[in-house]
Copies of this chain bind each other. A is one copy, B any other.
Amino acid sequence: MQLPPLVQTFVLHFGEMGSRWGINRTVGQIYALLFVAERPLNADEIVERLGVSRSNVSMGLKELQAWNLVRLQHRPGDRRDYFTTPEDIWQIVRTLVEERKKREVDPTLTLLRELLMQEAGTEEERHAQARLREMHDLFELFAGWYADVRRLDTERLVQLLTLGSKVQKVLEMKDRLTRLPGRIGGRSAKLD
């Protein structure tokens, strides 16, 4: 592995973290490398930096493309594919969450719904369904929240995250204010 120590440490760590998720080590390393690279890299450059086989890199890049996590670029007069991660780290987060939801949450929700439709014969099954219902409702709640929040532009999203639980205070304030008679600031203070 031919990398500045700082980059190498990061790449190795990211590879390990990748393993803890469903992602294999090489894929994690490729992504980490692209993330910190100052310019797009082609497959051979990745090979020499990571010291893995050409075919391994090819498969890794294919997987990252399937996840929409890398972008493909070309240079004039050069046939090779060059890869980058999005400049905007928030775009990366959005893609990551979106893809994980698609692959993990949605199928689970589908399954839970199917199981909840089934006729429960025994008491044991009836209890299991009650539990699955709890899980289903939980997932729906998160999915609904996510569907809403993903539409926020990044600035507002950051604003929201920075506020944290202080949002509660805003909500309390809203409760107080919307109970005021009349109008404020020329528009109705009600929330539609």
Segment at the B interface, from A50-58, A62-70, A72-80, A127-135: A127-135
Are the CB atoms of B147 and A164 closer together than 8 Å?
Answer: yes
A24 to chain B, nearest CB (A): 12
- Asked if B192 and A128 sit within 8 Å, CB to CB, the answer is no
Q: Which residues of B contact A164 (CB under 8 A)?
A: 144-145, 147-149
Sort chain A's interface into a size bin: 35 or more
Looking at the complex, which one of B108, B160, B163, B174 makes contact with A13 (CB distance below 8 Å)? B108
B173 touches A189 (CB 8 A): yes
- Chain B residue nearest to A39 (CB atoms) is B127
Residues of B within 8 A of A187 (CB): 176
A38 touches B151 (CB 8 A): no
Q: Are B191 and A122 in contact (CB under 8 A)?
A: no
Asked if B22 and A89 make an inter-chain contact with CB atoms under 8 angstroms apart, the answer reads no
Distance of A25 from chain B, by nearest CB (Å): 13
Residue A35 at the chain B interface, CB threshold 8 Å: yes
Greatest chain B CB density within 10 A among A131, A189, A192 is at A131
A-B contact pairs, 8 of them (CB 8 A): A4-B122, A10-B132, A20-B22, A38-B128, A148-B164, A169-B191, A173-B191, A176-B184
Q: A20-B22, A141-B162, A174-B174 are in contact. List 18 more A-B contacts (CB 8 A).
A: A4-B128, A10-B111, A13-B108, A20-B103, A20-B104, A21-B22, A36-B128, A38-B128, A90-B138, A144-B161, A144-B162, A145-B162, A151-B165, A156-B168, A160-B167, A167-B170, A173-B174, A173-B189
Which positions in A face B, CB cutoff 8 Å? 4, 6-7, 9-10, 13, 17, 19-22, 35-38, 89-90, 93, 103-104, 108, 111, 115, 118, 120-125, 127-129, 131-132, 134-135, 138, 141-142, 144-145, 147-149, 151-152, 156, 158-171, 173-174, 176-177, 180, 184-185, 187, 189, 191-192
